[in-house]
Amino acid sequence: MRKPRLLPYLLVAPTLVFVVVFTLLPLGEALVGSLFKQRLNIPKFQDPVFYGLGNFADLFGDGDFLQVLANTGVYVLVLVPLSLLAALVLAFLVEDKLKGLGVFRLALFHPTVLPMVSAATVWMFFFTPDYGLWNQGLHLFGYAGPQNWAGNPGLALGALVVVAFWKNVGFFMLFFLAGLQGLDRSVVEAARLDGANGLRMTWSIVLPLIRRQTVFVTSIAFIGAFQTVDHVFVLTQGGPSGLSSLLLYHLWQVRFERLNVGQGDAVTVLLVAVLLAFTVTNFLWGESREK
């Protein structure tokens, strides 16, 4: 009889402990908490009382929360594809081993190292009506629309997308660049000899070969889009009138401003459910294509 091997379990143990303590236990606690009504600032609701799915019903019956969901949906669906596309294009542009390209790579990557709070503060000044750099830049391209980006109902969410896009593209580009530089040159050369070039080469050869990077970058871009909240605090505070409030900002408001523990847990459960569904689907899709 074979002796059970201990080493693999020992190697996994530290990570497992971390995942259990910092992810699974809090998640379990949030899951249980979401079924209870508990509001710390209302004496009669300070102790948790079983509420079933009441917190979820309250959330979906609240116009503000539906607005937050809509904002988050638009934010993610615009930001993620745009960032990925731009990152891929930039990776192609800076892939060549030309002299001086390092400077461009650095320029494109540098926003990544800034904390989001700093990036948002910088952009707060860029967005200043009339003389802000962003408006001045747009003016050169003939833009004559409203300039009050962070305070305008139609532009505030867009302002958040712009900041996150600027901050993240360089980071995503790095993964695509690594993928491109690790391509099997013989496959590319063979395709070239077969007459593939330009779009055909990109679509049929390069993109399938960097699929793993694409799946990974898509996952972190999607999860990151849900997780970023600092720019909301700095630039718009969810305003005007809640039109730029995102899920995580709303969670902070519910949990820490309104001290509504049960509802905060319910928002957490929904957030994790969405992220888990996406990550699993994305992974399975990537794996199925691999086979």
Figure out which of the listed residues 23, 197, 241, 281 binds other proteins, where binding follows CB under 8 A. Answer: 241
If the CB atoms of residues 151 and 286 are measured against other proteins, the closer one turns out to be 151
The answer to whether the peptide bond before residue 4 is cis (omega within 30 degrees of 0) is: no
Per the CB < 8 A criterion, the answer to whether 212 and 234 are in contact is: no
Q: Which one of 167-175, 210-218, 220-228, 233-241 is the stretch in contact with other proteins (CB under 8 A)? A: 233-241
Q: What angle do CA 95, 78, 65 make, to 5 degrees?
A: 145
> In angstroms, rounded to a whole number, what is the distance separating the alpha carbons of residues 231 and 224?
13
Structure tokens at 68: 């937050």
Which region among 39-47, 173-181, 212-220, 278-286 touches other proteins (by CB under 8 A)? 39-47
Q: Report how far residue 199's alpha carbon sits from residue 206's, in angstroms, rounded to the nearest whole number.
A: 10
- Binding flag, residue 235, other proteins (CB under 8 A): yes
DSSP 50: E
CA distance 163 to 150: 11
Site string for other proteins, 195-214 (x = CB under 8 A): --------------------
3-state secondary structure of 241: coil
Q: Of the listed pieces 14-22, 70-78, 197-205, 257-265, which binds other proteins according to CB under 8 A?
A: 257-265
Residue 64 interacting with other proteins (CB under 8 A)? yes
Q: How far is the CB of 204 from other proteins (least distance, A)?
A: 47
258 lies in the binding site for other proteins (CB under 8 A): yes
- Residue for token digits 């003939």? 142
Site string for other proteins, 139-178 (x = CB under 8 A): ---------x-xxxx-------------------------
CA distance 23 to 28: 9
Q: Total binding residues for other proteins by CB under 8 A?
A: 34
Interaction between residue 34 and other proteins (CB under 8 A):
no
